[in-house]
Amino acid sequence: MAQYDTVGSVGSVRTANIDAGLRAHMNKVYGTMSVGMLITALAAWAISGLATTTDPALAAAQISQNTYLTNLGVTLYTSPLRWVIMFAPLVFVFGFSAMINRMSAATAQVVFYAFAAVMGLSLSWIFMVYTSFSIIQVFLVTAIAFAGLSLWGYTTKKDISGWGSFLIMGVIGLIVASIINIWLASPAILYAISIIGVLIFAGLTAYDTQKIKNDYLAHAAHGDSEWLGKSAIMGALNLYLDFINMFMFLLQLLGNRE
């Protein structure tokens, strides 16, 4: 009887340790993601401020009645460099994912924050196209939706791992359709892409959250802190991308243009 009690006690302690470790792991994921979001927002706002002006004396090109592009803005948004800025985050993600196993956890975290800054540069144009109020409004809507979807993905007992291949195929289809529509410039196609995009990244938010949780539970017993550190950063990257993409598609649907 004493032996049984001892075994039960050890099992309870082990379970409690895993639960505490999981909470710490998820906190690190959400914390890293939040810092990345803050860096992106600050970078986008700062670059937009440097790229536009209301002073005609500093203007290089006019974009509205009282708003002008500076020389920096012309370089970023009207020169061939805009294509590099547009696709830089995509290249960055693929490169980061391919090389993270060769990095330390500390290096991977710095690279993630650098990526967040690059994403801010890529998204800085939204401050010229949409009103500040609508950007904040859509951000709050996205945050509420993201929190609910991520919470469901974390708590649900349903195995949604089968969603992964379907959702990734959907993302590839969205990328192809978006590139084609750069030249077609069809409002109907853009509207359809936005609706489908919101649905796909809503599903990915729940899927990625459950995957982060399951990956931790599968490896926690090994005690590999370096792997868990890099796993938290990759989890933060995935959730960050889910949030950013859902925000951008919702902004296209709900945002008020200047």
DSSP string computed for 121-168: HHHTTHHHHB-HHHHHHHHHHHHHHHHHHHHHHHH--S--TTHHHHHH
Q: Which domain holds residue 37?
A: 2-254
Q: Which residue has the higher pLDDT, 179 or 62?
A: 179
Average pLDDT, the chain: 87
DSSP bridge pairs for 69: 52, 61
* Domain count along the chain: 1
Band of pLDDT at residue 13, cut at 50, 70 and 90 = very low
pLDDT greater than 80 at residue 16:
no
pLDDT greater than 70 at residue 53:
yes
Band of pLDDT at residue 241, cut at 50, 70 and 90 = very high
pLDDT tens column, 17-40: 667 788 899 999 999 999 999 999
User: 126 and 135 in contact (C-beta within 8 Å)?
Assistant: yes
Of 50-59, 80-89, 151-160, the least confident: 50-59
Determine the pLDDT at residue 252. 92
pLDDT greater than 60 at residue 5:
no
User: 215 and 157 in contact (C-beta within 8 Å)?
Assistant: no
What percent of the chain lies above the pLDDT cut of 90? 52
Q: Which residue has the higher pLDDT, 87 or 113?
A: 113
Determine the pLDDT at residue 2. 46
pLDDT greater than 70 at residue 226:
yes
Residue 67 carries which DSSP code? -
pLDDT greater than 70 at residue 3:
no
Band of pLDDT at residue 151, cut at 50, 70 and 90 = very high
Determine the pLDDT at residue 40. 97
pTM, two decimals, is 0.88
pLDDT greater than 80 at residue 85:
yes
